[in-house]
Amino acid sequence: MASITSDIGNQSGTLPKAAQPDAPTQEPMIWVNGQMMPKSQASVSVFDHGLLYGDGIFEGIRVYNGKIFKLQQHMDRLYECADKIFLDIGVSREEMIKIQRQCVQANNITNGYIRLVVTRGEGSLGLNPYQCPKAGVICIADTIALFKPEMYEKGMRVVLANRPKTPIECLDPRVKTLNYLNNIMAKVEAIHLSKELGITKPEDQLLEVIMLSTDGKVSEGSGDNIFIIKDGKVFTPPSEVGILEGITRRFVKDELCPMLGLEVEEKLFTIDEVYDADEVFLTGSAAEMIAVREVLTHDNLKHTGTHTISEGEGPITNALRTKFREIVTSDDVPED
Ligand SMILES: Cc1ncc(COP(=O)(O)O)c(C=O)c1O
């Protein structure tokens, strides 16, 4: 972690107590609107439309072995999403890459996670984005552990959300905007059901959901994409159903599956096909790859059923996850 140095220097004993130099701390350094600053001082305006309206976009990116995993694809998505919401980031792609490397270095991150946030910037209290003259850019480099290690080994239990995914015509989930309430409220269903059922074992906790489109097709999790495996073949929903086109999803689909000789197909499927699958897993930059062993259903937090997919992580998911780990722990972590 970064330490903060004081220009007072090493004059211990010569200054009154209040003027002593700060002891070096482990405080994280955050990039905010053109400046690197300690976490305790990092802030944005209360008039920023990112805060007032969730008007902005973001990326969550893994750092493996000091390399920024799939950096170029994350940059493609960030700038494409900016175009889709008519947001001028005001920082070039090259500069954005430099900011991320600087944050990774300043915080001594070898294996961690970057959160890049671009807000509409400071404006007036009205919705009009054109009254925000300059986008805000925030970069955080930190560590992350989304789920307990036991869950990766045994597979996790997830909940079928009652709440459907925002339809593509309302707000296209392919745009990674700061509006995550649809996903948060779905995830809260799982957390509340976990509490309702009195689940205490870490590996049994309900922390993720499967969300359906308004016409009942499987879309994705609250923060990850979904794959099912049936008779040795791998399936994932197409982006038209209303999902974020995950970069980990693409890595699994276009690189890992072919490496293992697995056939992959994008197709629409129902929750019954999930129940009937041999294996199910989720992918995401934060979640990485994690098996789903059970799907619980509920009606307004009344538990209505449990569908067992597999006893633990299935063999194909395990082979894919092993390959995944092999690549991200190698000296050759791909940035493109
Ligand atoms: C809703 C949603 N779907 C899928 C993903 C996975 O995307 P990626 O693999 O690019 O992290 C995320 C990641 O943040 C997400 O928020």
The most distant pair of C-alpha atoms in the chain lies apart, rounded to whole Å, by 75
Mutate to test the pocket of ligand 1, among 180, 285, 290, 324 (most ligand atoms within 8 A of CB): 285
pLDDT (0 to 100) of residue 8? 30
Q: Which atom from ligand 1 is nearest to the alpha carbon of 286?
A: 11
Under the banding of pLDDT at 50, 70 and 90, the label for residue 261 is: very high
Closest residue CA from atom 16 of ligand 1: 223
Q: What share of the chain has pLDDT > 70, as a percent?
A: 93
Q: Helix or strand or coil: residue 303?
A: strand
- The answer, as to whether pTM is greater than 0.85, is yes
Write the CB contacts of 326 (distance below 8 Å, at least 6 apart in sequence): none
Under the banding of pLDDT at 50, 70 and 90, the label for residue 26 is: confident
The token duo for 70 is 């799939």
Closest residue CA from atom 8 of ligand 1: 246
Scan for tokens 């054109």, then name that residue: 130
Phi, psi of 291 (to 5 degrees): -75, 150
pLDDT (0 to 100) of residue 228? 98
Q: Which atom from ligand 1 is nearest to the alpha carbon of 285?
A: 11
Average pLDDT for residues 312-321, to the nearest whole number?
A: 97
CA 283–ligand 1 middle distance (angstroms)? 8
pLDDT (0 to 100) of residue 196? 96
- Reply yes or no on whether the pLDDT at 193 is more than 60: yes
pLDDT tens, residue by residue, 115-142: 999 999 999 999 999 999 999 999 999 9
Mutate to test the pocket of ligand 1, among 244, 245, 248 (most ligand atoms within 8 A of CB): 244
pLDDT tens, residue by residue, 37-93: 999 999 999 999 999 999 999 999 999 999 999 999 999 999 999 999 999 999 999
Under the banding of pLDDT at 50, 70 and 90, the label for residue 3 is: very low
CB 220 within 8 A of CB 230: no
Q: What share of the chain has pLDDT > 90, as a percent?
A: 91
Give the whole-angstrom CA distance, residue 96 versus residue 139: 9
Domain annotation for the chain: domains and CATH numbers: 17-142 (3.30.470.10), 149-328 (3.20.10.10)
CA 247–ligand 1 middle distance (angstroms)? 7
Under the banding of pLDDT at 50, 70 and 90, the label for residue 212 is: very high
Closest residue CA from atom 4 of ligand 1: 224
Q: Which residues line ligand 1 (CB under 6 A)?
A: 60, 183, 220, 223-225, 244, 246-249, 283-285
Closest residue CA from atom 14 of ligand 1: 223
CA 7–ligand 1 middle distance (angstroms)? 42
